[in-house]
Amino acid sequence: MTVADTGVLIWLARYNKLGLLVKLSGTIDISPGVFEEAVTDGKLNGHPDAEVIETAVDNKEIVVRNTGVSEKIDRMEEVFNCKLGRGEGEAITLALKTDSFLLINDEEASTIAEFLGVRTKGVLFILLKSVKDGLLDKGESLAIFQQMLEDGFWLAPDTAVEFEKMLLLM
pLDDT in tens, 13-35: 999 999 999 999 999 999 999 99
Q: What is the pLDDT of residues 125-137, one digit of tens each?
A: 999 999 999 999 9
| pLDDT above 90 for 103 | yes
| pLDDT above 90 for 79 | no
Q: Domain residue spans in the chain? A: 2-123
Q: In sequence order, which residues have a C-beta less than 8 Å from that of residue 166 and are 6 or more positions away?
A: 128
Is 64:32 a contact under the CB 8 Å cutoff?
Answer: yes
Q: What is the pLDDT of residues 150-164, one digit of tens each?
A: 999 999 999 999 999
Integer-rounded Cα Rg, in Å, for the chain is 15
Q: What is the pLDDT of residues 116-127, one digit of tens each?
A: 999 999 999 999
- Tell which residue, 86, 100, 119, has the closest CA to residue 6: 86
- Using DSSP's 3-state secondary structure scheme, residue 73 falls into helix
- Cα angle for residues 150, 154, 157 (degrees, 5° grid): 95
CATH architecture, range 2-123: 3-Layer(aba) Sandwich (3.40)
Residue 63 has a pLDDT of 98
